[in-house]
Amino acid sequence: MALSGEVCVVTGACGFLGEKLVRLLLEEENLSEIRLLDRNIRSELIQTLEDGRGETKVSVIEGDIRDRELLRRACKGATLVFHTASLIDYNGAVEYSELHAVNVKATRLLLETCIQQSVSSFIYTSSIEVACPNRSGEPIINGHEDTPYSSYPISNYSKTKQEAEQICLQANGELLRDGGHLATCALRPMFIYGPGCRFTLNKLRDAIRSGNVQHRLSQQSAKVNPVYVGNAALAHLQAGRALRDPEKRAVVGGNFYYVSDDTPHISYCDLTHALMSPLGFSIQNKPILPIFLLYLLAFFMEILQAVLRPVLRFTPPLNRQLVTMVNTPFSFSYQKACREFGYSPRYDWEEARRSTTDWLASVLPAERRLANKT
């Protein structure tokens, strides 16, 4: 079911995924209005959206997602919210109180606002880290939404994403002010890569500083199934269409879905190498240290971080969650999303890889100049 005439809100509209989703909505749907909600709306983004917006009104709502009045303005008269905004933290750089405020409290506040403003559909961008892997590093290969797993996240980021997802799904069926009912669902994308990926860009910078050699942190056997950002955005659009369809709404509402595509099952480091190797980068054959030593080193770094925190802000490059995550085989099927709301990846691996490598090639000269200065 198309979203023609709808008023949609995209939180985190300037983010890696949010921007791709906004562009996709403007390309494929004849929306009445799309509202871009973000802390910092880039003027160049708005300029590039002008040509592709057609008859759709593009409204900019800039500010803190924890601002109740801001959310009220964003949601008034809207029918569908895509909540992609999140504070991401892989290395303990952000205080738990800040993560919880943005990822959990703001999600709860946004859902409350949707109920007050009678916004009937809500899609939450969750994370594979909600499933973990757990601290024992128990693998999952081609799992699905009903695969049993003892999930007890280590990192604060994982904890907050898990709590926010639960809040979202529990809100399904809530009575709206106009007498209708709220329908919610959550999407759990695997690791998202593509043009603009900050993680991939950081790996490029590290490799430049190391003489065009990528340090290996993950074992080749620790295979995951990443998802291209264009396909992740498409899954959000298709889930949004499903929640606006009376029949599919009853099926999709209250559920979470894994989102991946046909990217080969590959380790995190080997994925980055596949994207960077056409540009002349190589990769180490083995991890820089045995995995148990990496884990032990990460543990001591976390202790040092805790000891120094009262007097010095220290962010370790490694933590136990990161070492465990990149060294655990952890892959999931997207077939439930196919069956229940019609998700079908649009971009194959070759196109996704070429697009990402072309983007890396475009930023490479500037990154080399920056590295030479430092």
Q: Is residue 96 annotated as part of the catalytic site, yes or no?
A: no
β partners of residue 188: 258
Q: Pull the structure tokens for residue 78.
A: 């809207």
Name the catalytic one among 157, 295, 334, 347.
Answer: 157
**Integer angstrom CA distances of residue 231 from 4, 197, 346:** 21, 14, 6
Contacts of 16 (CB under 8 A, 6+ apart): 192, 194, 196, 197, 198, 229
Q: Pull the structure tokens for residue 87.
A: 């504070």
Rounded Cα gap, residues 339 and 232, in angstroms:
16
Q: Pull the structure tokens for residue 262.
A: 């046909």
Give the CA count within 13 Å in the CB-facing half-sphere of 190: 32
Q: Pull the structure tokens for residue 271.
A: 């994925």
* CA angle (49 as vertex; 48, 50 as ends), nearest 5: 95
3-state per-residue secondary structure call for 218-265: CCCCCCECCEEHHHHHHHHHHHHHHHCCHHHHHHHCCEEEEECCCCCC
Q: Would residue 342 be called left, alpha or beta, if left means φ above 0 and alpha means ψ between -120 and 50 degrees?
A: left
> How would you classify the pairing of strands 7-11 and 80-83?
parallel
Residue type for 292, please?
Answer: F
Where are the alpha helices (H) located in 101-193, listed in sequence order? 106-116, 156-170
Contacts of 269 (CB under 8 A, 6+ apart): 214, 216, 217, 218, 283, 326
Let me know how many helices (H) and strands (E) the chain has, helices first: 14, 13
Is 82 within 8 Å of 242 (Cβ atoms)?
no
Contacts of 214 (CB under 8 A, 6+ apart): 203, 206, 207, 269, 272, 273, 276, 281, 282, 283, 284
Active site members: 157
